[in-house]
Structure 1
Amino acid sequence: MKEEIVIAGFGGQGVLSMGKILAYSGVMQDMEVSWMPAYGPEMRGGTANVTVILSDERISSPILHEYDTAIILNQQSMDKFEKDVKPGGTLIYDGNGITRHPERTDINIYRVDATEEAARMHAVKTFNMIVLGGYLKVKPIVKMENVIAGLKKSLPERHHHLIPMNEKAITRGGEIINEVSLVE
């Protein structure tokens, strides 16, 4: 099993931390893991993306040009990465701020309205965990207990009181993700 993922959006959306939590979760399951962030000097507001590889075999290179899954959180990332999803792969996106929705018919497309749900939950900072929950519903490659362990590892101890709220957000993301059907 090998899952090659790109997570892309604006800096400040939790793109890198979502990737880090996935990577730590894979480590907790004795997987081979690669986590490679890319972001501009602006950080917040600029574009950011991270590639994560989870595998049960050695990873030869962290550099990817196509992905099994793309998790897209803004229009610029949609424009850049939609074409790079492998045929038969998966694209998951948050509809907020997307003006051109995915158009490919050779991939599986899911929408998770995490921005709206985070606002409804009065927990805007859980946006990325809602998206992560949607991803894990579609591709349950890491166990929830390992995701929680990954959260504990990536969050500073002073923020560990937020773990139950993040766990609730992950669960909610799994409940609200919907497959998008495109007719050829």
Structure 2
Amino acid sequence: MTEEIIIAGFGGQGVLSMGKILAYSGIMQNQEVSWMPSYGPEMRGGTANVTVILSDDRISSPVLKKFDTAIILNQQSMDKFVNEVKPGGTLLYDPNGITHHPERRDINIYRIPGAALAVEMGNPQTFNMIIMGGFLKIKPIVLLENVKKGLEKSLPERHHKLIPLNIQAIQKGSDSVETVHTV
């Protein structure tokens, strides 16, 4: 199994940390992992994306042109990456702020209202874990117990008290992902 993923959105949405947690979760499952972030100089509001590769085999290069899965969190990222999903691949997106919804018919498309659910949970910082939960429902490539270990590894110890809230957000996302189109 090899899964090549792009996670893209604005800085401040937890794009890079979602990728890091996913990568650590893969490490906890003894997978080969690549994590390659890309972001602008802005602290908040600039574009950010990360490519993550999880594989049972050695990874030859972290540089990708096409992706098995794209997790899209803003319109700019949708415009840039919607056509970079491999035919038969998967696109998961948060509709908040998306004005041009994906129309491809050769990929699986899922939607998750992560921003709205984070507000509903009373903590906007759970947004990225809600999205992660939706992704793991669609593609259970890492086990929840390994995601918990990934959270422990990637979060500073002073934030470990937030792990139960993050697990709750993952479950909320898993329960809330909606199918738009499947091939």
Amino acid in the other structure paired with 2:36: M
The runs of 4+ residues in structure 1 deviating greater than 2 Å are none
TM-score, length of structure 2 as denominator length:
0.98
Cα distance between partner residues in 2 of 1:181 and 1:59: 30
Does residue 178 of the first structure (1) align with residue 168 of the second (2)?
no
Cα distance between partner residues in 2 of 1:43 and 1:100: 26
Counterpart in the other structure of 1:89: 89
Report SS of the residue matched to 1:104.
coil
Tell me the number of residue pairs that the alignment of Structure 1 and Structure 2 aligns.
183
Counterpart in the other structure of 1:3: 3
Q: Return the offset for 1:108.
A: 0.1
Q: Return the offset for 1:26.
A: 0.3
Contiguous gaps of at least 5 residues in structure 2: none
Does residue 110 of the first structure (1) align with residue 121 of the second (2)?
no
Cα distance between partner residues in 2 of 1:174 and 1:43: 29
Does residue 121 of the first structure (1) align with residue 121 of the second (2)?
yes
Q: Return the offset for 1:181.
A: 3.0
Counterpart in the other structure of 1:44: 44
Amino acid in the other structure paired with 1:8: A
Q: Return the offset for 1:43.
A: 3.1
Report SS of the residue matched to 2:7.
strand
Amino acid in the other structure paired with 1:109: I
Cα distance between partner residues in 1 of 2:181 and 2:53: 27
Amino acid in the other structure paired with 1:25: S
Q: Return the offset for 1:81.
A: 0.2
Cα distance between partner residues in 2 of 1:72 and 1:160: 27
Contiguous gaps of at least 5 residues in structure 1: none
State the identity as a percent: 71
Q: What pairs with 1:1-184 in structure 2 (closer than 5 Å)?
A: 1-181=1-181
Q: Return the offset for 1:44.
A: 1.1
Cα-Cα RMSD: 1.1
